[in-house]
Amino acid sequence: MGLLMLLLVVAAAASAPAADAWGKEGHYMTCKIADNFLTEEAAAAVKGLLPAWANGELAEACSWADSQRFRYKWSSPLHFADTPGDCEFSYARDCHDTKGEKDRCVVGAINNYTAALKDSSSPYDPTESLMFLAHFVGDVHQPLHCGHADDLGGNTIIVHWYTRKGNLHHVWDVSVIETAMKDFYDNDQATMIEAIQRNITDVWSNEEKQWEACRLRTKTCAETYAKESALLACDAYEGVEQDITLGDDYFFKALPVVEKRIAQGGVRLAAILNRIFGEKNGRVQSS
């Protein structure tokens, strides 16, 4: 590879995180599932905060944060929380941006926007806080958003997804979902969402309550979700090297993980929103 070519590849890889995050579909499905678990109060509060262009649909606003990464450059590090690669996430060690500024990672951002929505005197725009929160709860569940810092969460690991060239991060954001939609769901997002939802009420019904549980009073449990992702990321890297071709074997291992993470993201986003707007409501009623 010539030096110029190498520089171009490195530059492209370095800028890749700015374009990626669970793809549009992953975020849409996470938020659609969240919809099913919102209390009436929370659903009404969410509707009231959504921008007009979302047509009253939370899912429509769940990729907004990706479209703002260039306008709001400061928000870019808030989409992920990379680790040194030991299969663990530690808030104190890992939640910072590349300049070392603390709290600037996806877990810090989830806590930030949850606190902002709870506090009616917060200076932050509540519509933006809601859209950031809904997006970042999705992101923290994507294993490669808690991947290894060295390879930018898999962005610099070039792989071939069947015959198409991409990178490992993109495989987890987009390709696994796209292939599943094509192979199993008639290219219909609604069918895939239904299948995941059916699993939540069926095979995962016992786990579902645990997914929701969070004893912390002042913060969210996003740190726990990042720890789970960091562990899953280690599996995702296993056996993957530069320029490898990933096909059926990898796909059939990754797909159940992706579907479960979308389910967990949706259930937990709803739980967070229910806590935020339930409390607010309670305060209003008791005063």
Task: Return the ∠ at Cα 228 (arms to 87 and 45), rounded to 5°.
Answer: 145
Nearer to ligand NAG, 156 or 179 (CB): 179
Nearer to ligand NAG, 187 or 245 (CB): 187
Q: Which residues pair with 160 in a beta bridge?
A: 165, 245
Amino acid at 122: S
Least Å from the CB of residue 205 to ligand NAG:
11
Least Å from the CB of residue 252 to ligand NAG:
9
Count of beta carbons in the 10 Å neighbourhood of residue 16: 18
- Contacting positions for ligand NAG (CB under 6 A): 74, 78, 103-104, 108-109, 112, 124, 195-196, 199, 203, 256, 259
Q: Comparing C-alpha atoms, which of 172, 140, 138, 124 is closest to residue 62?
A: 138
Q: Are 255 and 176 in contact (CB under 8 A)?
A: yes
Nearer to ligand NAG, 30 or 156 (CB): 30
Nearer to ligand NAG, 35 or 259 (CB): 259
Cβ-in-10-Å burial (0-12, 13-18, 19+) of 97 comes to middle
Nearer to ligand NAG, 108 or 147 (CB): 108
Q: Are 37 and 267 in contact (CB under 8 A)?
A: yes
Least Å from the CB of residue 199 to ligand NAG:
4
Nearer to ligand NAG, 48 or 256 (CB): 256
Least Å from the CB of residue 100 to ligand NAG:
13
Least Å from the CB of residue 158 to ligand NAG:
28
Cβ-in-10-Å burial (0-12, 13-18, 19+) of 245 comes to exposed
Encoded tokens for 161: 């997804």
Q: Are 256 and 180 in contact (CB under 8 A)?
A: no
Least Å from the CB of residue 108 to ligand NAG:
4
What is the β-pairing status of strands 158-161 and 164-167? antiparallel
